[in-house]
Amino acid sequence: MADQPTAAERFIQGILPENPVYRQLLGLCPTLAVTNGLKAAITMSAAVLFVLFCANVIVSLIRNLLKPHLRIVIFTLTIATFVTFADRFLAAYVYQMSKVLGPYIPLIIVNCLIICRCEVCASKQGVVTAGADAIGQSLGFCLALCSIAAVRELLGTGMLFDIRVLPVVWPDWVIMVLPPGAFLTFGLLLGLVNWYSDRRAAAAGGK
Amino acid sequence: MKPIQQMEPLSPTAFERLRNNNIIQAWLVLILTLCFGSSLAGIQMTLGPKIEENKLNETLEKIPELILGAEGAQKLTESGEKLDVIPRSFVVDKPGKKAVYNVYEAFDKDKKRLGWVVKTGGQGYADRIELLLGVDPEVKTVSGIFVLEQKETPGLGNKITFEEWRGQFKGKNTETPMGVVKGGKAGAGDINAITGATISSRAVTDIVNMAVADLKGPLTANAEGGK
């Protein structure tokens, strides 16, 4: 276990160095689908945080009982349970939001980010590390979703959090809130992140 | 020849056979399923009524606006009064099938009937569209529509939910079915299509026309009989 990252390392790694969206390219379905508004992006991230945290903790608690050929079944079972919790909870308390997110909350079940964290971290490390990992990864996910959503909402509707920011003369680029806008924004931001980290690496190597 | 275990040439003992049994191996899965299943049932029992209530509330909240218009609804809220709403259901015989409509009947405080709100729906461009349709007591004019549920294209078809578009239905005569006209040249009895979303516009208009045609008879009959 000595070579496994500690809780703090897991937490930090999730946010930027191993950002789930920009670095691991995981969980892209919600990344593209629910980022046409910041509110939706944040609700989605909160749901992912809840599901990932609970799933990681449960899997970490039972990690010594797992049988290799049955582990995926157990991951899926755990994830599905907490996703249903989140879905029902949103429908009961934030009904409007749950209508906006539609099928994408139930679809967290098949979000590969969560199963990846269960497999890579929670099924091998202790509860504290697994919890820290879940929070770090979810924050990274939230950051990625919000960055894409901010660009799309601003350019597509001239609003941020449903409040008009750009002057009314701004011609709303409808394409940005449509699916193609998601791909364009994501591609450009991903390119930007890669370009920036390449430059940083080059600068560090030059010294 | 019977397959034998490679590691143990001797016949497995009862204990080992039990240990290799598929069901026994899956004990953790089974126990987790039980725990999760019961907790899900618990969540559903706690939150289920609340979710149903949310859905109903959304309908009930919109009724004053659909009957009285936005200003009328505002006045009503300011005066602290409430409409009496009676949920009813109408079955309409159509060729080959029966259509069931949930209709909300709205009265003011003097028991005067103010109008009807019909919950209806139909196929849109992407998925089913669920609508609330408000009509006056005699089903002569439409007093407003509201889109409860839709998954039309964001930026184009989802404009059916905007007040500026659905406001067109307000005051439309129900004598003849409404048509959909492109290019903003709609006449008195027609609806302007949303640019780039003619199918969504037509779908909503068709749903409204269909509900009016189906319910005009039963509702008027009921209104007269009720007096």
Domain locations along chain A? 7-149
Q: What is the C-alpha to C-alpha distance for residues A27 and A29, in angstroms, rounded to an integer?
A: 6
Report the DSSP beta bridge partners of residue B130.
B121, B149
More confident residue, A190 or B175: A190
Inter-chain contact A74–B29, Cβ cutoff 8 Å?
Answer: yes
What the block records as the tokens of B130 is 């669920």
pLDDT at A84: 92
B139: buried, middle or exposed (CB in 10 Å: 19+, 13-18, 0-12)?
buried
In this predicted model, what pLDDT tens digit does every residue of B47-95 receive, in sequence order?
989 988 888 888 888 888 888 877 777 777 777 777 778 888 888 877 7
Residue type, B97: K
* Rounded alpha-carbon distances, angstroms, from residue B64 to A125, B56, B87, B124: 57, 14, 14, 26
Q: Tell whether A76 lies on the interface with B, counting CB pairs under 8 A.
A: no
Asked if residue B78 is part of any domain, the answer here is yes
Asked if residue B148 is part of any domain, the answer here is yes
pLDDT at A68: 83
Q: Yes or no: say if B26 and B32 are a contact pair by the CB < 8 Å rule.
A: no
The alpha carbon of residue B66 is apart from the nearest alpha carbon of chain A, in Å, by 19
**pLDDT tier at B6, thresholds 50, 70, 90:** low
Asked if residue B7 is part of any domain, the answer here is no
Q: What is the C-alpha to C-alpha distance for residues B15 and B24, in angstroms, rounded to an integer?
A: 11
Report the complex ipTM: 0.72
pLDDT at A142: 93
The values of phi and psi at residue B11, to 5°, are -65, 135
pLDDT at A1: 46
- What is the full DSSP assignment across A10-68? HHHHHHTTT-TTTTS---HHHHHHSTTSHHHHHHHHHHHHHHHHHHHHHHHHTGGG--G
Average pLDDT over residues B168-191: 83
A 124-163 residues inside an 8 A Cβ radius of B:
156
- What is the full DSSP assignment across A40-54? HHHHHHHHHHHHHHH
Chain B residue closest to A74 (CA)? Answer: B29
Structurally, chain B folds into a number of domains equal to 1
Q: Yes or no: say if A10 and A126 are a contact pair by the CB < 8 Å rule.
A: no
Asked if residue B114 is part of any domain, the answer here is yes
Range of the domain at B163: 51-226
Below-70 pLDDT ranges, chain A: 1-3, 206-207
Percent of chain B scored above 90 by pLDDT?
10
Inter-chain contact B39–A177, Cβ cutoff 8 Å?
Answer: no
Q: Tell whether A180 lies on the interface with B, counting CB pairs under 8 A.
A: no
Asked if residue B9 is part of any domain, the answer here is no
Q: Yes or no: say if A59 and A130 are a contact pair by the CB < 8 Å rule.
A: yes
pLDDT at B227: 45
pLDDT at B109: 75
Asked if residue B89 is part of any domain, the answer here is yes
What the block records as the tokens of B97 is 């099938």
More confident residue, B7 or A47: A47
| Res B21 pLDDT > 50 | yes
Asked if residue B59 is part of any domain, the answer here is yes
The alpha carbon of residue B29 is apart from the nearest alpha carbon of chain A, in Å, by 6
Tell me the H-state helices in chain B: 14-20, 22-25, 27-79, 163-166, 198-226
CA end-to-end distance (rounded Å), chain A? 34
Nearest-CB residue to A91 (from B51, B149, B156): B51
Chain B residue closest to A84 (CA)? Answer: B40
Nearest by Cα to B206 from B151, B133, B105, B116: B133
Q: Yes or no: say if A21 and A27 are a contact pair by the CB < 8 Å rule.
A: yes
pLDDT at A206: 63
More confident residue, A206 or B163: B163
B55: buried, middle or exposed (CB in 10 Å: 19+, 13-18, 0-12)?
middle
Asked if residue B110 is part of any domain, the answer here is yes
